[in-house]
Structure 1
Amino acid sequence: MKEQDRKQQKRITSIGGSALIEGIMMRGPKRTTVACRIDKDHIYTEDIEVKPLFKAKFWKLPLIRGIAGMIDSMRLSYKALGLAADKALEAGTVEEEEPSKFEKWLEKTFGDKLMNVVMVIASVLGIALALGLFVFLPAALFDWTLGGAFKVVDPATQAVSYTVAGQFVKSAFCGVLKIALFIGYMLLVSQMADMKRVFKYHGAEHKTIFCYENDEELTVENVRKQSRFHPRCGTSFLVVTLLVSIFVGLFIPVAPFGVKLLNPVFRLLLLPVMVGLGYEFIKLCGRHDNKLTRILATPGLWAQRITTKEPEDEMIECAIEAMKAVIPDDGSDIVNNCACATP
């Protein structure tokens, strides 16, 4: 059956979610629930909670709230992933490998705190890899390849800078390379069997939210016909943030104070600004539907063709269980009642 688009959407909810290992997490205004497929006839559900790190009003301000929200969402996602992984191991849907000597040493050394240690190490390594690939590598490649064509040297101070055209070209070069690296990584990951199932659960999450927003009964049949491309998706957030980085890069000197290596440092320091702007754009696209928001949402929706797949019925059932658990009785999740339309 052909997927429905947003033209039938009657309301917009603040409820969001994420795909897990054989499960779904749905986050509402009052509850966050994880639903995991244990076997063909059983879905395990559990509410989880992570206390916000940022409670002051300052962290609720536009641009700032994007940073705070991302950090808290990451903490919540880690907890949900850990729960889903544990349930998958218990159910036998994921096989547990024999621990190596190093893993045994870690378990003996850190005991019950091992998972927290692993999460911290994984986070640090992940951030370091992301910074290397998306901040320092693009800037270095431009300097090594095209930079010479735009270089300007001050005869008095020997300070190195670039022409205005060079600054624009570098920002565009780095932005396009970042997006290419991101898309290439997602394409590579999408070929893994386990990730294919996660991406199917991702599709089930989006379809279920759309079904609720279209004010239809949450049944497998109704969910199945919905679109799997949603504007408030994490994939869209990442793509929009990468696009924002191109714009922000126009205002960063190619060689601040005559030092080329300071360019990626400045980009790193401005990363919170890029994340904040990306969050505001996604929030805007999630709350409104007009020509501007359609343009902003389009690149992210294209990328979701990689990160979402058509789900199986049992995955949809899992998403429905999680969704029903977090829908508040007082309608506090509804952020906009509308007659939304997209072509």
Structure 2
Amino acid sequence: MIAAFALLNMMLFADGEAKRRIPVGGQAVIEGVLMRGSENWGLAVRDPKGKVVLQSWPASKWLKAAPWKYPVVRGFATMVEMMRVGMKALSISADISLGEEEKISPLEGALSIGAALLGVVVLFIALPMLLSEYLAAHFALSRFAANMIEGVARGAVFVAYVALISLWKDIARVFEYHGAEHKTINAFEHGERLEPERVAEYSRIHRRCGTSFLIVVIVVGILVFASIGKGGVLWRVGSRVALLPLVIGLSYEFIRGAAESESWGRYLIMPALLLQYITTRTPSRDQLEVAIAALGEALRPIEKDTASGGAKDGTDRQAEGN
């Protein structure tokens, strides 16, 4: 593994500052980390034997084409792509970390996705809306007050949900990999050598985190949903689902601007960063090694398949030294 870190750092520092200015991001998966470079996705997962299995594949090109590259629209498009690739990475990481005999079937995966989507609609859309409608009718509140209550309730449900699942041992471990992902990206963006001892010194909090993004979505949703008039329950729930792409797009632009700002953005985004103290944990050296390996995969040029003329996609490799 030491040799792999040396090669990665040689590549980064040989290319100068331009290489380290590449906007990178990622997410934690089961016993691993997924990273996104400018052109590629990189995945690193530790298997039951302690080996780090690596995969990489090209990022989709459609995000750079019209109309998906334009402001606001690009936010929702990016979210769709992250969900698509994230589910792929979760499936791969589950297969690797659980072992061959415990693979998740396509049916089990589809049922899990369906249950998750239903839970999102019920917990984070329908429940806060119904609660606000009840309180507004009971206390004769204005439409603006009802929307404020809905937004606060949605935020409270989300924070409570995250805090509750963090008590689960397996989720707590994913949160440790989340911390490893953030520390690695912070070190990378500060031009630090990507070695576990140095990366460990960086913060596990990052401005572009998806957790902070979801908090911003809740706040922006209060403003956008305030424009919705009265109607039946199905209409109100449906209208919120229909307006979700707009809310996500506006939230994305805010997060993007705040991440690049050292004045207004640094302070306005601060409340949203607090939730990361729940969704990230201090990682171990082994977990930092995995995160660094994932970033190396995301930044590594993908070999061309000479037979098909395309890029090789998703070939398992082991991190050098493991």
TM surpasses 0.5: yes
Q: Structure 2: 5+ residue runs without aligned partners?
A: 1-17, 302-322
Aligned counterparts of 1:126 and 1:291: Cα–Cα separation in 2: 37
Q: Is the 8 A contact 2:75 2:248 kept in 1?
A: yes
Q: Is the 8 A contact 2:35 2:41 kept in 1?
A: yes
Q: How does 1:9-24 map onto structure 2 within 5 Å?
A: 13-24=22-33
* Cα-to-partner distance string for 1:198-241 (whole Å, 9 max, x where unaligned): 10000000000111111111111110010000011110111110
* Cα-to-partner distance string for 1:283-338 (whole Å, 9 max, x where unaligned): 2223x123321233213210101100000000001111111222368xxxxxxxxx
Aligned counterparts of 1:298 and 1:78: Cα–Cα separation in 2: 29
One-letter code aligned to 1:122? S
Aligned counterparts of 1:232 and 1:28: Cα–Cα separation in 2: 14
Q: Is the 8 A contact 2:180 2:288 kept in 1?
A: yes
Task: Give the counterpart of 1:144 among 129, 134, 140.
Answer: 134
Asked if 1:64 is matched to 2:73, the reply is yes
Q: How does 1:99-110 map onto structure 2 within 5 Å?
A: none
Asked if 1:134 is matched to 2:143, the reply is no
Q: Structure 1: 5+ residue runs without aligned partners?
A: 1-9, 98-102, 104-113, 151-164, 330-343
- Counterpart of 1:6 in structure 2 is none
- Counterpart of 1:200 in structure 2 is 176
Count of residue correspondences: 284
Aligned counterparts of 2:135 and 2:147: Cα–Cα separation in 1: 14
Q: Is the 8 A contact 2:48 2:97 kept in 1?
A: no
Aligned counterparts of 1:128 and 1:49: Cα–Cα separation in 2: 31
Aligned counterparts of 2:112 and 2:59: Cα–Cα separation in 1: 19
Task: Give the counterpart of 1:220 among 172, 192, 196.
Answer: 196
Residues 28, 68 of structure 1: alpha-carbon distance in 2 compared, 3 angstrom cutoff: same
* Cα-to-partner distance string for 1:51-100 (whole Å, 9 max, x where unaligned): 46666401111111111111111110111111111111228xxx949xxx
Residues 289, 54 of structure 1: alpha-carbon distance in 2 compared, 3 angstrom cutoff: closer
Task: Give the counterpart of 1:43 among 52, 56, 81.
Answer: 52
Aligned counterparts of 1:52 and 1:252: Cα–Cα separation in 2: 35
Q: Is the 8 A contact 2:42 2:296 kept in 1?
A: no
- Counterpart of 1:321 in structure 2 is 293
Q: 3-state DSSP class of the match of 2:99? A: helix
Aligned counterparts of 2:190 and 2:241: Cα–Cα separation in 1: 40
For normalisation by structure 1, the TM-score amounts to: 0.76
Q: How does 1:329-340 map onto structure 2 within 5 Å?
A: none
Q: CA RMSD in A?
A: 2.6
Asked if 1:123 is matched to 2:123, the reply is no
Q: 3-state DSSP class of the match of 1:251? A: coil
Aligned counterparts of 2:110 and 2:68: Cα–Cα separation in 1: 23
Aligned counterparts of 2:114 and 2:48: Cα–Cα separation in 1: 35
Identity %: 36
Aligned counterparts of 1:60 and 1:168: Cα–Cα separation in 2: 33
- Counterpart of 1:300 in structure 2 is 272
- Counterpart of 2:15 in structure 1 is none
- Counterpart of 1:159 in structure 2 is none
Q: How does 1:83-98 map onto structure 2 within 5 Å?
A: 83-90=92-99, 96=102
Q: Radius of gyration: which is bigger?
A: 1
Aligned counterparts of 1:89 and 1:123: Cα–Cα separation in 2: 19
Residues 193, 130 of structure 1: alpha-carbon distance in 2 compared, 3 angstrom cutoff: same
Asked if 1:79 is matched to 2:88, the reply is yes
> How far has the Cα of 1:145 moved from its partner?
2.6
Aligned counterparts of 1:39 and 1:264: Cα–Cα separation in 2: 44
> How far has the Cα of 1:265 moved from its partner?
3.0
Residues 148, 38 of structure 1: alpha-carbon distance in 2 compared, 3 angstrom cutoff: closer
- Counterpart of 1:276 in structure 2 is 249
Q: Is the 8 A contact 2:55 2:297 kept in 1?
A: no
Aligned counterparts of 1:300 and 1:229: Cα–Cα separation in 2: 11
One-letter code aligned to 1:225? E
- Counterpart of 2:146 in structure 1 is 170
